[in-house]
């Protein structure tokens, strides 16, 4: 599976994204194809050149707009929908436009249909969005990840930094913001929309193939965006095992405790019968915790069980890739978990709750529903 990691050490903008992806090896002809597909040939001229910012050299893309035409949100959507871009590219571009429209509507307190995007309503925004997603498509990128984003503090033209539109676009995406000493806009609304539509915020385990640098407009040293291109590898992640022995707690209460710990964020909970001191039968409860929840899960175990203490052990686990797909069976739609190794699908497992529900509704043996889901998934994924 091909991954792209956006290292936004100096922020992100639309043109920086285009430059970084071309510097990663994407053909600049894709941008020309985007302009043609969007029917913007009379408005836009694209210049691609090599530039440096301090000790960082890379590709700068300039999208020059003549006879600027400001478009409404419906008009922007219409240009994308009527274009000859790949369907996956259109979907992401429309998502990004929708996020920009919702952000501006919230800021100005008007309905989306009444939003005027001003500088975001021109051909350059269309080229930035469609071009960025088309370049990712051309590089055959399967998943996009992004680093924390720099967040300066202050005012620019009477507006706070980071820009309100960028912040609104990033709401609910899980974006991480880190303080920056810069006093200029580092994350533009268009750059934010690209990440919001396509990226997961976090750093993946990957085997690096290539790095591209997209040069920004500002002449400040280091003003660039890096995109790392590589292959997914099994990730080693740190976890903590929280463990305790219980010899004076009813089994039904231990079952409820396990369910509550899972709802509280535990990765897994295991309960194993054991012989305790003085020959008492009991249970060993082991909780697999992500790093950020060790304190909370330990507290929950201490408060809601009879134990007087817990043991903590740091561990490293290697995790296979996974995703969930829907498959159609003769009995209905079932969600199936797909296991991935080295970028390839290697196994499938149907979701129990889906199969159990269908079994009860249809009066079909649960095993038959699960077999049908596995067969359909393996056929659709080419695992037969």
SS3 content of the chain, % helix, strand, coil (to 5): 40, 35, 30
The domain locations on the chain are: 2-232, 236-319, 321-381
Tens-place pLDDT, residues 118-165: 566 688 999 999 999 999 999 999 999 999 999 998 887 788 889 899
Q: Write out the two tokens for 342.
A: 């080295």
What rounded mean pLDDT belongs to the chain? 91
Tens-place pLDDT, residues 256-272: 999 999 999 999 999 99
Q: pTM of the predicted model, to two decimals?
A: 0.65
For residues 316 and 322, what is the distance between their CA atoms, to the nearest angstrom?
Answer: 18
- Phi, psi of 211, deg, nearest 5: -125, 135
Tens-place pLDDT, residues 353-367: 999 999 999 999 999
| Residue 139 · residue 4 · CB < 8 Å | yes
Amino acid 383: pLDDT = 84
Tens-place pLDDT, residues 337-348: 999 876 678 899
Tens-place pLDDT, residues 59-84: 999 999 887 777 888 889 999 999 99
User: In terms of CATH architecture, what is 236-319?
Assistant: 2-Layer Sandwich (3.30)
- Specify burial of residue 384 (Cβ count, 10 A radius: 0-12, 13-18, 19+): exposed
* CB neighbour list of residue 233: distance below 8 Å, 6 or more residues apart: 205, 206, 207, 342
Phi-psi region of 118 (alpha: psi -120 to 50; beta: other; left: phi over 0): left
Residue 273 has pLDDT above 90, yes or no: yes
- Phi, psi of 212, deg, nearest 5: -125, 145
Is the CATH code 3.10.20.300 the one for domain 321-381?
yes
For residues 28 and 2, what is the distance between their CA atoms, to the nearest angstrom?
Answer: 20
| Confidence tier at 236 by pLDDT (50, 70, 90) | low
* CB neighbour list of residue 20: distance below 8 Å, 6 or more residues apart: 6, 58, 59, 212, 213, 214, 224, 225, 226, 227
| Confidence tier at 3 by pLDDT (50, 70, 90) | very high
């Amino acid at each position: 599976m091909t991954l792209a990691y956006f290292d936004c050490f100096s922020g992100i903008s639309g043109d920086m994204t285009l430059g970084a992806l071309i510097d990663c090896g994407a053909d600049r002809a894709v941008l020309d194809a985007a302009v043609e597909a969007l029917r913007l040939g009379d408005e836009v001229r694209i210049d691609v050149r090599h530039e440096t910012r301090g000790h960082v050299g890379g590709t700068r893309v300039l999208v020059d707009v003549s006879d600027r035409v400001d478009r409404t949100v419906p008009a922007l959507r219409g240009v994308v929908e009527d274009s000859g871009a790949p369907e996956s590219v259109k979907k992401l571009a429309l998502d990004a436009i929708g996020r920009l429209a919702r952000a501006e509507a919230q800021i100005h307190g008007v309905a989306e249909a009444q939003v005027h995007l001003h500088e975001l309503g021109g051909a350059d925004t269309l080229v930035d969005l469609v071009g960025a997603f088309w370049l990712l498509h051309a590089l055959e990128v399967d998943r996009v990840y992004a680093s924390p984003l720099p967040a300066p503090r202050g005012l620019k033209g009477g507006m706070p930094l980071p820009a309100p539109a960028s912040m609104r676009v990033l709401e609910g995406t899980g974006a991480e913001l880190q303080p920056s000493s810069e006093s200029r806009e580092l994350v533009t609304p268009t750059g934010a929309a690209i990440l919001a539509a396509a990226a997961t915020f976090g750093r993946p385990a990957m085997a690096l193939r290539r790095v591209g640098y997209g040069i920004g407009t500002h002449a400040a040293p280091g003003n660039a965006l890096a995109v790392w291109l590589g292959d997914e590898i099994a990730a080693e992640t740190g976890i903590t095992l929280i463990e305790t022995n219980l010899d004076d707690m009813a089994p039904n209460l231990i079952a409820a405790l396990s369910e509550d710990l899972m709802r509280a964020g535990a990765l897994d909970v295991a309960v194993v019968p054991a012989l305790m001191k003085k020959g008492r039968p009991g249970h060993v409860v082991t909780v697999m915790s992500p790093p950020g929840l060790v304190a909370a899960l330990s507290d929950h175990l201490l408060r809601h069980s009879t134990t007087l203490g817990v043991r903590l052990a740091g561990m490293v686990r290697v995790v296979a890739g996974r995703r969930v797909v829907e498959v159609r069976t003769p009995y209905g739609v079932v969600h199936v978990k797909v296991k991935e190794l080295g970028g390839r699908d290697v196994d499938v497992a149907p979701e129990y709750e889906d199969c159990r529900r269908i079994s009860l509704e249809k009066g079909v043996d649960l095993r038959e529903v699960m077999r049908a889901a596995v067969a359909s998934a393996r056929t659709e994924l080419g695992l037969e």
